[in-house]
Structure 1
Amino acid sequence: MRASDIAGAVMARRSTAREMAEQALARIAAARDLNAVVTTDPARTRAEADAVDARVATGEAMPLAGVPVVVKDNIWVGGWRITQGSRLFADFIAPEDAIAIARLRRAGAVIVGIGATSEFACKGVTTSQLFGPTVHPQDPQLTPGGSSGGPAVAVAAGLVPLAIGTDAGGSSRRPPAHVGVVGFKPSFGAIPYGPGFPEPFWRISVIAPIATDVGDARLAFEIMAGADPRDPDTFDVAVADHATPLRVAFSPRLGLDVAVDGDTSAGLQRAVDRLRAGGMPIVDKDPVWPAGLAEDAVMPLQHAGLAALYGDAFHNDPAQFDPDIAKQIERGLGLSGADVARALEASAQIARAFASFFTQADVLLAPTVPCVAWPFTQLGPSKIGGKPASPRAHAVFTPYANHAGVPAISIPCGTNVHGLPFGLQLIAARGRDRLLLDVAADAERILAQS
């Protein structure tokens, strides 16, 4: 069931929040081999569900009444164990809800579990020393990507209709693309981020809903969005300002000289052709990036952030860390102030380039991923487009939206010859989240009909 259908059934008393919670807990227990949900607390979940049913009985209206939700293991959920996928936080109990989670609970959502993440949400595969690998629902040898692999798999496998992830470089767009669901990265500041753990990603990471369709992702966004005085970066997103005519651009490689698998490229083009045939006005147009700019130009920000937060703990006991995260911390410890300044300038250049592009277009269509899922034992596929691939080559199309602070959404648009999904990414200017969601819903409708 969709989240909106569950809420409607609970509000109409055709079902109860307790029934929905029990069913979700049973599905999670039956799907333990996926390792998508790493923490459950059935007694707490049942108490939350009973409290929602009591509120329904008083006549209180709740847009998420009884909807079971999985939350990524780096977002504070008061009273729950939240670990960031790290041995350092294996016994940490969140002292309070993040603002976004408090808003979901006020809307009637029931937390049924905590979804797996890679350590500190800093890898493109969802594995950790604390919990092991999360696997793809179609093939247990494959990864769903990362770092929001647990929430994405929980939705794709039908454990819950809605999950909440984070996105600092595509973490809640790439895993949904790899498993065939919707992941929405709002504008930076559209949803309050804390209270929570200090972030290694300065002014980049956002809280992101993951759902089976655009409508449910939008429902969660509307509940979580809005300024809060505790978060100085937040703002109120404007109503959708529909341009006349709507200007939609398609860039098959986001203006980057990068490899894409043939199946993925061809499937993306077919999806865009279907959107054109369905009436969406699309022109071919690439963003223009500063000469020499590459995604690795901004990676020092992540490495420096990890080093600042966990460098001392790393010196005390390196074995506490995932080896791949340890390498990132070591790189961060070796960076100079000038290295970080250059990365900050690269981030600012990305933001300026996107701002310029969106004076000429309202929405940009591009790939979410250049390839389908790969073995979970690897940081990335060994080849993309028939060429040797670096460990981050699978992530090339998503981080720029984070550095620009703009909203981006991934919707399913096809599968390869083996039935593995990939996604179409839609991007808009900062603050135009509602316009983007409108266009994404239109695209979803057209693709479903064709």
Structure 2
Amino acid sequence: MPAHSAREIAADFAAGRTSAVETAKAALARIEAAKALNAVVTIDPAHTLADAAAVDDRLRAGEAMPLAGVPVIVKDNIWVGGWRVTQGSRLFSDFIAPHDAVAIERLRRAGAVVVGIGATSEFACKGVTTSPLYGSTRHPLDPALTPGGSSGGPAAAVAAGLVPLAIGTDAGGSSRRPPAHVGVAGFKPSYGAIPYGPGFAEPFFGLSVIAPIAADAADIALVFEAMVGADPRDPDSSVVALQAEDIGGQRIAFSPRLGLDVAIDDVVANGLASAIERLSAAGLCITQRDPVWPAGTTEDAIMPLQHAGLAALYGDTFRKDPTIFDPDIARQIERGLSWSGAEVAGALLASAAIANAFAAFFTEVDLLLTPTVPCVAWPLTQLGPDMIGGKPASPRAHAVFTPFINHAHLPAISIRCGTDRCGLPFGLQIIAARGQDRSLLGAAQEIEAILRV
């Protein structure tokens, strides 16, 4: 974990105890020393130090900045103006972002300093962080393991203490599962709460969000306030509720398997059950209750959207030279080219049914607690663990608890919940109704405080 939180760095900066240049130099030194982790794939020290010097000048001029001097890593699929941003793909190996995404523009306005670009799987479409350009990102606690994906680089960078803050994306759990696997917090805001883009064309249809990653929910709340709010450049951006509700008055449900017939390792299931007991003992009123899903609701029912999106964007290039892509991504593109229009429409209908089921559920509860992941991290060379819950596991079995939240456009956060006997972390996922991001972040901070006792 970083020696100082984003809150502490900003406070030290405002009090004149440090400078943005000093803080940026220290972060760059940590990144250089952790090259073997392969969490940060691009640095530009000259650019970083010039930005840091500008922040120092702004402080001397009397400007107040909530993220003053905070070093940040940005995922390799979000535009950072003047930086090489590649999506982990050979197709974009020389791409220089022409300007900032809105979220990055707002971060910089708040005083944050970009110190590097964090690794992603190609097009952020894989549950482990490997890419044709940069190879594999390693788990900070065990280099033989993966941190998951696709925001494995940003999550690993925070967990390894390289920076206190990173910005990922999340279209199916990409910035919740890696944080769960490495022991930090990852937040998927309501769809539209933080403007998305301008940037690369998205293979995901109305799902992907900008997702802060930090050591705890308090730092995430700080950066969320710097990025939240509608912007005319993103027609899907919207306003979230201004008033946060007190957790003491909220109706809280716990669903051990999110109402799905899926496997979960005993250590995760037992750890979550223990956490729920501790929260109940602290005075939270928690009832066990599952969402009710339409028949046939599985991740397989909605995956055609990702495959078809990739095929629409990169199918022509794939036909000319499939070897240019990560083989796992190439298989997704090939599958996308084979889906019929009716099958893709069926996936859209399944997505809408998931959203409707969640909407009904959140008329009767305010917060839902679930596992973030059903297992701890697995070997670096595999798409997923061989076994989960004592049963053979498919390559996507590790991802079962996160994608539906994207399809319902809900906010969700993963916070550290426990570890297995080897010290490998897993997470508790907290979900709220769309637009209730501030209430969710407030609840997450209170739950973290209880679980730390």
TM-score (norm 1): 0.99
Residue 162 of structure 2: aligned partner: 159
Find 2:404's aligned residue among 380, 396, 400: 400
Deviation string 1:361-401 (CA, Å, 9 cap, x unpaired) is 00000000000000111000010001000000000000000
TM-score (norm 2): 0.98
Find 1:132's aligned residue among 131, 135, 143: 135
Residue 6 of structure 2: aligned partner: 3
1:224 maps onto 2:231 in alignment: no
SS of residue paired to 1:330: helix
SS of residue paired to 2:192: coil
Moved beyond 3 Å, runs of 4+? none
- CA-CA distance at 1:242 after TM superposition: 2.2
- CA-CA distance at 1:305 after TM superposition: 0.1
Find 1:147's aligned residue among 150, 169, 187: 150
Residue 109 of structure 2: aligned partner: 106
Q: Distance in 1 between matches of 2:6 and 2:348?
A: 39
Q: 8 Å contact 2:244–2:442 — kept in the other structure?
A: no
1:180 maps onto 2:183 in alignment: yes
SS of residue paired to 1:298: helix
Q: Distance in 2 between matches of 1:29 and 1:339?
A: 47
Q: Distance in 2 between matches of 1:261 and 1:240?
A: 38
Name the amino acid aligned to 1:188.
Y
- CA-CA distance at 1:245 after TM superposition: 3.0
Residue 447 of structure 1: aligned partner: 451
Q: 8 Å contact 1:65–1:109 — kept in the other structure?
A: yes
1:328 maps onto 2:300 in alignment: no
Residue 306 of structure 1: aligned partner: 310
Q: Within 5 A, what are the aligned runs for 1:33-432?
A: 33-242=36-245, 245-432=249-436
Deviation string 1:329-358 (CA, Å, 9 cap, x unpaired) is 000000110010000000000000000000
Name the amino acid aligned to 2:13.
V
Name the amino acid aligned to 1:302.
Q
Q: What is the root-mean-square deviation of aligned Cα atoms in Å? A: 0.7
Q: Distance in 1 between matches of 2:80 and 2:66?
A: 20
Q: 8 Å contact 2:44–2:116 — kept in the other structure?
A: yes
Name the amino acid aligned to 1:165.
G
Name the amino acid aligned to 1:444.
E
Q: Distance in 2 between matches of 1:240 and 1:255?
A: 30
1:434 maps onto 2:438 in alignment: yes
With 230-239 and 51-60 compared, the bigger mean Cα shift is at 230-239
Q: 8 Å contact 1:300–1:335 — kept in the other structure?
A: yes
Q: Distance in 1 between matches of 2:329 and 2:308?
A: 12
Q: 8 Å contact 1:240–1:433 — kept in the other structure?
A: no
Q: 8 Å contact 1:64–1:109 — kept in the other structure?
A: yes
Q: Distance in 2 between matches of 1:278 and 1:35?
A: 40
Q: Distance in 1 between matches of 2:356 and 2:225?
A: 27
- CA-CA distance at 1:292 after TM superposition: 1.5
- CA-CA distance at 1:19 after TM superposition: 0.4
Give aligned-pair identity as a percent: 72
SS of residue paired to 1:221: helix
Unaligned runs of 5+ in 2: none
Q: Distance in 1 between matches of 2:245 and 2:16?
A: 37
With 325-334 and 314-323 compared, the bigger mean Cα shift is at 314-323
With 266-275 and 361-370 compared, the bigger mean Cα shift is at 266-275
Q: Distance in 2 between matches of 1:47 and 1:241?
A: 38
Name the amino acid aligned to 1:30.
A
Deviation string 1:411-447 (CA, Å, 9 cap, x unpaired) is 0010011110000000001001111111111100100
Q: Distance in 2 between matches of 1:61 and 1:24?
A: 22
Q: 8 Å contact 1:72–1:148 — kept in the other structure?
A: yes
Unaligned runs of 5+ in 1: none
